[in-house]
Chain A
Amino acid sequence: MASSSTPKYNSNSLESSSSKRTLKDGTNWEQNEEIPRLPGETRVTDKDVIYMCPFNGPVKGRVYITNYRLYLRSVENDPVVVLNVPLGVISRIEKMGGASSRGENSYGLDITCKDMRNLRFALKQEGHSRRDIFEVLTKYAFPQSHNLLFFAFLNEEKFSENGWMVYNPMSEYRRQGLPNERWRVTFINEHYGLCDTYPSLLVVPYNATDDDLKKVAAFRSRNRIPVLSWIHPETQAVIMRCSQPLVGMSGKRNKDDERYLDIIREANGQISKLTIYDARPNVNAVANKATGGGYEGEDAYPNAELFFLDIHNIHVMRESLKKLKDIVYPNVEESHWLSSLESTHWLEHIKLVLTGAIQVADKVSSGRSSVLVHCSDGWDRTAQLTSLAMLMLDSYYRTIEGFEVLVQKEWISFGHKFASRIGHGDKNHADADRSPIFLQFIDCVWQMSKQFPTAFEFNEQFLITILDHLYSCRFGTFLYNSESLREKEKVTEKTLSLWSLINSEKSKYTNPFYTKELNRALYPVASMRHLELWVNYYIRWNPRIRQQQPNPVEQRYMELLALRDDYMRRLEELQITNNSKISNSSTSSASPSQMMSQVQTHF
């Protein structure tokens, strides 16, 4: 057993305020600290267990379960081993071994988490000791299956910033210069009458009436009509999103839809064809005809050019992530790491998503052509493509607040089915609707930030925090499948926004290397040569793999920034002193060279 014992920095923990020093495998090694509790969090039960740490062996401890988290403290280890896991990350709870199982520590619970790890606890075999803990965990980890509220509705935390104020669709469209003479805002969906998975406020061509929209809705899967996501400030070319047309086996046509697409094409005075990106592989698009869907055929849409982007469906992505977990948890595949990684296809999917987004962005920017993006329903791959293309084209989305707006807009308001994809509070771990689509998006963003280390205002920790709270159910941000449902559940009134947490402590999530650049299109290189596995996320629980946290280069750069600011301040002081001719040199205590040696920086 490794004698790892000294606490090490870790900014990757799920918890922020309560546990400052978390060890690499998500275990904290602290002494004499109270069990952390959020306002509104209540204790449910506790029990002596053995935590079967996959890296450091069995750890005797006491587990505390609240309505929000599972917290474990070791009793014998020095320093103390701590595990701090929000119940929201739990995907599945299994009993291992039976009352008669032999072997040490063979009886207990195996908990599969959504964040790339498993937790195993061994319990005493006598007296059905795991029954109550199993029941309590099941109940609070899966509140939706037990008619309980998400913790987000009980959370009484207070933040200085209100994250719900971050996104206002009207001001976001205004920022883009909308409405204008060619694009208008419509309230047709105010009560979600047109489309129950779309936001209430939509931007559509000025020349299309609300009546037209209703007719188009009939021909688009789940009434998800083409609406504007983004407009290029110079070319006026737009990114439109929608779902597949309901062509079906018989090859149905719809004059209104055809006309509507033409109106879109003409809206920026474009003569060339409208570009349609169908995110799916060609064969899948064809297969969708069998269930009433399909794609825009050449005959029906002579003024459109259709491209398939070959991005696979949610099931393929789910299986790919499963394979990835197999090679990184608990142990990293040793001998053939690269070919194992390749065989998961995870990075290949990332590459395809990025390639698709680059095509969309390039068409709008260099090609000066409006594009229409859809997949089947237009809430998974479509959201990935539009949001990534927007991130490439609009530097605003590369700021902390801008990115929050982007997520809020393209994902949350346009009905990415977070509840189904993540399975918040739901016990059906094998539900076929679950899929890591949003994780894949964040991974793409990480790849971009890795390739362009100065282009993003946010750092890696920001992305990890978003992913952690995608599962935690501590905030209302990602709960439910659509805006209409969120409105019904009064999410903004009854829960807190994740952006409240982040924006109240912005410096923690800020990239020191960020250089503000306006209107610079940013095209990542979607080549395997530059794509990397996001080790700090996917393999963060493994103490042998994790990289140094915090990033030493970042940290030293920040020291240097502080030094510069200090110099500037002191120089100003000196100048004032000199100017007023009071040559009292004793005001400054340290000489510059002394200052330099303090930060130990070489020149």
Chain B
Amino acid sequence: EIHIREPTEKEVNPHLLPGELLLCEASMVYKYIQEDGSNRGTYGKLVCTNFKIAFLDDSASDDNEPQFKNKIVGENDITLQCVDQIYGVYDEKKKLLTGQLRKYPEKLIIYCKDLRVFQFCLRYTKEEEVKRIVSGIVHHSQTPKLLKRLFLFSYASAAPNNIDGRNQTVMFDTLEDWRDELERTKGNVKYKAVTTNEGYKVSEKLPLYFVVPICISEESILKYDHSFLQIWCWSCHNGAALLKMSAFPKEQDDSTSQTQKAFLDGICKTISKPPYELLKMDDLSSSLPSLQDIQTAYTRFKQLFLIDNCTDFWATDVKWFSLLESTNWLEIIRRVLKKAIEVAECLERQHTNVLLIEESATDLCCVISSLVQVMMDSYSRTKSGFQSLIQKEWVIGGHGFLDRCNHLHKSEKEEAPVFLLLLNCVWQLVQQYPPAFEFTETYLTVLSDSLYVPIFSTFFFNSQHQKDTNTSGESLKTQSGPFRFLTVWDWSVQFDPKAQAFLNNPLYAEKPRPDKSQRKSMRFKHQRQLSLPLTQTKSSTKRGFFREETDHLIKNILGKRIGKLINSSDEPPNSFREFYDSWHSKPVDYHGLLLPRINGPDIKVWAQRYLRWIPEAQLHGGGTIATAAKILDLMEQVQSLQVKMDEEHSQAI
């Protein structure tokens, strides 16, 4: 039985952004409210634009404005990139809709990448409109697209952006940014920023500017295969550095491989000798799950949260834990966190450089290097520090967001939630050590949502090169010249100040600032407190999880698969356990090294992200947000008291 609210005559129009065009629409669409599995819902108009699919509620009033609201993407808006899958219901049967349709469904179910589920009944809609809206939605959200057809470009040309969205986020698109980072981490003694790739002479995959060991000459960068380049990520306070390198091409003709070998040999020898630390390598493709594994796990995992009705919800409830386990997603998070601890141990305690190896070095390398920095560098736990880190390792670092998110529906094979994996891992740390982070879990949740909002360039290119070549506007007939894209880090685009308050952690244990005017010098200062009391000054190279000595490894590296040589850490070696246990037996220094707890009970489901849209799982008046709201309230009280006191003070003087 359907309880129908009388449709009203009120004309509702979609709110369009600059550059947004209405493509098709249908009225008398009935949207189900999934509260109780009954057929309750509301009538409205379903529209599709070049940016989003939106449901416009006929009877909507502005009274129930939620406290936390996104200005760009409303409650009933789905950006085209946020659509995960669309199902049509024909005679109670669900069928996946992908391309051309012969028959039009009576019900449309849209599963979103941010885990919302929309159900629209089309039974009362005119047939013509049904055809147009269904094929429109499927076409615009599910079929391959050209990059230039992304809303990003329409928006950028229609809304020239003059805001400097940088805030304090370091974008790493200039040489200075890299030099500052080297200086900040004191890596500048042994590493240098190079300009060799200006004009992308060396590689289109590499960023315009990057950092390499000082011993590598610019000529040699041009001369040799760039995939051998050891690219600097970060330096630890003790001088040990985290480096990354693309894996070696499997097939090579002998003459090249000999010169390559000699070259690599030379570099490795140089940088494993003083003043450089010993070098240890870790082939992430053999010591971590593959991208395919990650994609499979996440696909299964997210399925557990895309729930059609409350019957499904309760039917899966009893077996919840084993269902969760069978997805393997939490286990992958655990393994990634563990790997990050292992790398941190090498850097921190063994004083060794760690070289992460992965084909292309833009996926798991990004995850591990980011996590290591979040754990070891308290600057990365501030909001601007974390954003700078994402810029450095992911955006400029060349993570293929476009392909990994499959924004253009080009190939499902390339799809893998690598960035989401990072956010899930960081969330584990945030919930284990809330005072250590300047941002909240809500920040991470909205950041994950922003992956699908194509008005920011941040997550819509595969590389800096791709962005640069598409920014110039040459190929486009518009005279708007170079595009100025928004960056996601300008949170005021999506949220008003009140909502932004939820992104900041009021209980963040900020370091006392000696002098506010000297921001830069403060940045260096935090380094000093990073160190953990060392149990041994220099451990033997035989210990640890990279058992092979570097030289030996180099000799074998070409021709054979290196994966076999580097231990894949099936058994945690003692030094890891010792490092882990010893750290956990001491009180936590929120500004120092932070190691996640990784036992079974410690790894949790990111409830805010995954359960927020399921009505049955709502904790009305409860949940972590209840505490957060209390804290914000108290914060406001304290602030207003502060203002009053200042007033009284000035009166007194």
Residues of A within 8 A of B (CB): 2-6, 8-9, 24, 332-334, 336-342, 347-348, 351, 451-455, 513, 515, 520, 522-525, 527-530, 533, 535, 539, 543-545, 548, 552-553, 556-557, 560-561, 563-564, 567-568, 570-571, 574-575, 577-578, 583, 585, 588, 591-592, 596-597, 600-603
Contacts and interface: CB of A to CB of B under 8 A. Distances in A.
Contact of B585 (A8, A341, A455, A557): A8
B586 interface: yes
Interface stretch (B20-28, B242-250, B616-624): B616-624
A589 to B, nearest CB: 13
Nearest to B313: A527
Given A338-B330, A564-B638, A452 B626 contact: yes
Please name the 6 residue pairs, one residue from A and one from B, whose CB atoms are nearest each other, closest first: A337-B600, A4-B585, A528-B320, A2-B581, A452-B622, A342-B321
A548 B611 CA distance: 26
A290 to B, nearest CB: 29
Contacts of A577: 652
Contact of A602 (B314, B504, B623, B644): B504
Interface stretch (B61-69, B91-99, B207-215, B431-439): B431-439
Given A574-B649, A583-B652, A602-B438, A4 B582 contact: yes
Interface in B617-645: 617-624, 626-627, 630-631, 634-635, 637-639, 641-642, 644-645
Interface string B275-317: 0000000000000000000000000000000000000011001
Given A338-B321, A539-B601, A585-B652, A513 B509 contact: no
B509 A600 contact: yes
A342 B648 contact: no
A597 B641 contact: no
Contact of A533 (B506, B586, B601): B601
Interface stretch (B70-78, B116-124, B255-263, B510-518): B510-518
B586 A2 contact: no
A498 to B, nearest CB: 28
A311 to B, nearest CB: 14
A529 B607 CA distance: 8
B585 A560 contact: no
B512 A597 contact: yes
Q: Which range contains the number of B residues in contact with the other chain?
A: 35 or more
A170 B408 CA distance: 72
A339 B504 CA distance: 36
* Residue from B314, B330, B618, B641 whose CB has the most chain A CB atoms within 10 Å: B641
Interface string B525-536: 000000000010
Contact of A3 (B435, B578, B618): B578
Contacts of B322: 338-339, 342
Contacts of A601: 506-510
Interface in B573-602: 577-578, 581-582, 584-588, 597, 599-602
B436 to A, nearest CB: 9
A389 B602 CA distance: 31
Contacts of A3: 535, 578, 581-582, 585
Given A525-B617, A556-B509, 12 more contacts: A342-B321, A451-B623, A452-B626, A453-B624, A577-B652, A592-B645, A597-B512, A600-B509, A601-B506, A601-B508, A602-B438, A603-B506
B587 A563 contact: no
Contact of A453 (B325, B584, B622, B651): B622
B322 to A, nearest CB: 5
B517 to A, nearest CB: 14
Given A552-B434, A564-B641, A338 B324 contact: yes
A603 B634 CA distance: 12
Contacts of A527: 313-314, 317, 320, 616-617
A334 to B, nearest CB: 7
A220 B285 CA distance: 69
B584 A602 contact: no
B652 A574 contact: yes
Given A338-B330, A567-B645, A601-B510, A4 B581 contact: yes
18 contacts: A3-B578, A4-B582, A9-B587, A339-B321, A339-B325, A342-B320, A452-B622, A513-B630, A528-B321, A535-B601, A552-B588, A556-B509, A557-B630, A564-B641, A574-B649, A575-B648, A578-B651, A601-B506
Interface string B140-179: 0000000000000000000000000000000000000000
Contacts of B2: none
A348 B37 CA distance: 24
B319 interface: yes
Given A3-B582, A339-B325, A545-B599, A520 B644 contact: no
A454 B632 CA distance: 14
B626 A454 contact: yes
B641 A571 contact: yes
